[in-house]
Amino acid sequence: MSKIFVTRKFPGTALDRLKESGNGVTISEFDRPITQEELIDKGKGCDALLTLLTDKIDGELVDAIGPQLKVVSNYAVGFDNINVPELSDRGIIAANTPCEEVNEAVAEHTWALLLALTRRIVEADESTRRGSYRGWEPNIFLGKSLKGKTLGVIGLGRIGTMVAKRAKGFEMRVLYNKRTPDTDAEKDIGIEFSDLDRLLRESDFVSLHVPLTDETRGMVNAESLGKLKQGCYLINTARGPIVDEHALVDALRSGHLSGAALDVFEVEPNINPELIGMENVVLTPHIASGTHEAREKMGQLAVDAVLQVLSGQVPENIINKEVWPQARANTEKELVRYKVA
Ligand code: GLV
Ligand code: GLV
C-alpha cells in the first residue's frame, strides 16, 4: 500500500477512484490552497503527491516529504509551479494533465473573453442590471466586428492551435508566432507564420498561448506593447507573469490598447487595482480550464499518473520522461524483481 496526499479536493469522480485503489489516500481538509508547512506536515512519508498549480514544488519541498516520494502529479496543464529539474535530479517523476478537453475549454474561454471585449458584454450587462435600459438606441455599447480582422496567436501549441482554428469560423485572418513554424497547421487551418514584431504591428487582437518560462516571463512589456497596432486588444489565458501588468495599465490608460481580457494575473490572487477600475478590461478568476468536462478529465489524468507510477509504469503525461530509467519508482521495481527472481 502506498501513501498518497492530495493537496486539495477537486470536482468529478477521479478522487473516488483513487480512494478505492487500495492505497492510503489523504485529501487536504481545507477549501483553500495549502501552505508549504501544511503540505510538508501532511505529505511527509508519502509516495505520491497530487498537487495543484497553487502549490510550489521544488527540491527542498520534496526532500522534506522524504526519499520514498516517487511522483508529483500536477492537476494542471501548466507546470511552472514545479521545479522539474530539481525533481528530476532526485528521480521523482512529474506529470501534468494536458488533454483535448482542457485545450477546448481554454480555447473557448479565450473566445468568450475576446467577444466579451468586442461586444462589451460585461459593461452592457452591468448597465442593464442597473436599470439603464430605456429601449433600443442607435448609439449604445457599439462594439467591433471580427470578420476580416487579424488575430495574432503567440504560441501555437495545442491550445493556440484551437484558438486559431476557431478564428476561421469568424472569417478572420490569423498570424501566429512559434519557435518552429508549423507548416501542417498553416495548411490545415489557413494561418500564417509571422515574426513577433510583425504580429504585434498587424494584429487587431493578440492572444497569448505560451507556457511561463524564463524566456516568456515579461515578454509582453512596455516595448512589445508599444509595437502593438493602435486600438489592439490583448487576451491572456496563459500565465499572468508573461505580461508586465504595470506596462499593460499604462497602454490601456493612454488609449494605445482598446482593451484587455485577463484570466490570469502577475501575482495571483492579487489583481492590480487599476485594472479593476477600467471599463475596457474584462477579468475572470483563472477559470479558462473550468468546464465540467475538462476538470473531470484533468482529475482522471492526474489520478492515472499517480497510480501508473506507483505500479511501475511510465505515465502517459510524464513531463520528465528522460528520468524514467533512474526513477525512484522504476529502480525500486527492479529491486523487487531481482528479489523475486
Ligand atoms: C490552468 O491554468 C492549467 O494550467 O491547467
Ligand atoms: C436591432 O435590434 C435592430 O433591429 O436593428
**Residue 244's closest CA among 262, 232, 269, 231?**
262
Residue 335: pLDDT above 80? no
Provide mean pLDDT across the span 232-237: 98
Q: Quick one: pLDDT at residue 272?
A: 95
Q: Is 289 in the pocket of ligand 1 (CB under 6 A)?
A: yes
Asked if residue 69 has its Cβ within 6 Å of ligand 1, the reply is no
Ligand 2 centroid – CA 125 distance (Å): 17
pTM of the full structure: 0.93
Say whether 100-283 and 3-96+311-340 share the same fold. yes
Calculate how far, in angstroms, residue 78's C-alpha sits from the geometric centre of ligand 1. Answer: 5
Q: Is the pLDDT of residue 341 over 50?
A: no
The pLDDT, as a whole number, for residue 332 is: 75
Q: What is the CA radius of gyration of the chain?
A: 22
- The superfamily (CATH) of domain 100-283 is NAD(P)-binding Rossmann-like Domain (3.40.50.720)
Phi-psi region of 91 (alpha: psi -120 to 50; beta: other; left: phi over 0): left
pLDDT at 340: 47
What local confidence, expressed as pLDDT, does residue 336 receive? 62
Closest atom of ligand 1 to CA, residue 239 = 2
Q: What does the pLDDT average to over 219-237?
A: 98
Q: What local confidence, expressed as pLDDT, does residue 46 receive?
A: 98
What's residue 85's pLDDT?
98
| 92 vs 305: CA distance, rounded Å | 12
Atom of ligand 1 nearest to the CA of 298: 5
Helix (H, G, I), strand (E, B) or coil at 48: strand
Interval 14-54: pLDDT, tens: 999 999 999 999 999 999 999 999 999 999 999 999 999 99
* DSSP secondary structure code for residue 188 in this structure: I
- List, for residues 181-204, the tens digit of each pLDDT value: 999 999 999 999 999 999 999 999
Class of domain 3-96+311-340: alpha beta
Report residue 341 as a C-alpha cell: 527472481
Closest ligand relative to 51 C-alpha: 1
| Cell numbers at 213, concatenated | 518560462
Ligand 1 contact, 78 CB (< 6 A): yes
Which mutation among 8, 10, 53 tests ligand 1's pocket best, with the greatest number of atoms within 8 A of CB?
Answer: 53
243 has pLDDT over 70 = yes
Distance 147 CA to ligand 2 centre (A): 19
CA of 138 to the centre of ligand 2 (A): 9
Q: State pLDDT tens for residues 120-171.
A: 999 999 999 999 999 999 999 999 999 999 999 999 999 999 999 999 999 9
Distance 136 CA to ligand 2 centre (A): 8
Check if 290 has its Cβ closer than 6 Å to any atom of ligand 1.
Answer: no
Kindly state the average pLDDT of the residues 220-238: 98
Which ligand has the minimum distance to the alpha carbon of residue 284?
A: 1
- pLDDT, one tens digit per residue, over 84-108 is 999 999 999 999 999 999 999 999 9
Ligand 1 within 6 A of CB of 260: no
Indicate the domain borders of the chain: 3-96+311-340, 100-283
pLDDT in tens, 160-173: 999 999 999 999 99
pLDDT score recorded for residue 196: 98
Peptide bond into 273 cis (omega under 30): no
Of residues 200, 196, 194, the one with CA closest to residue 215: 196
- C-alpha 266 to ligand 1 mean position (Å): 14
Amino acid identity, position 265? F
For residue 272 the three cell numbers come to 492590480
- Helices (H), ranges, 120-243: 121-129, 158-169, 183-185, 196-202, 222-227
**Catalytic amino acids?**
239, 268, 286
- Evaluate: CB of 77 within 6 angstroms of ligand 1: yes
pLDDT tens digits, one per residue of 244-291: 999 999 999 999 999 999 999 999 999 999 999 999 999 999 999 999
Tell me, using a 6 A CB cutoff, whether residue 24 lines ligand 1.
Answer: no
Please report the atom of ligand 1 found closest to the CA of residue 76: 5
Q: Which atom of ligand 1 is nearest to the CA of 79?
A: 4
Q: What is the DSSP string of 99-129?
A: -HHHHHHHHHHHHHHHHHHHTTHHHHHHHHH
Q: 6: exposed, middle or buried (C-beta count within 10 Å: 0-12, 13-18, 19+)? A: buried
Average pLDDT, rounded, for the chain:
96
Atom of ligand 1 nearest to the CA of 97: 5
Tell me if 235 CB under 6 Å of ligand 1. Answer: no
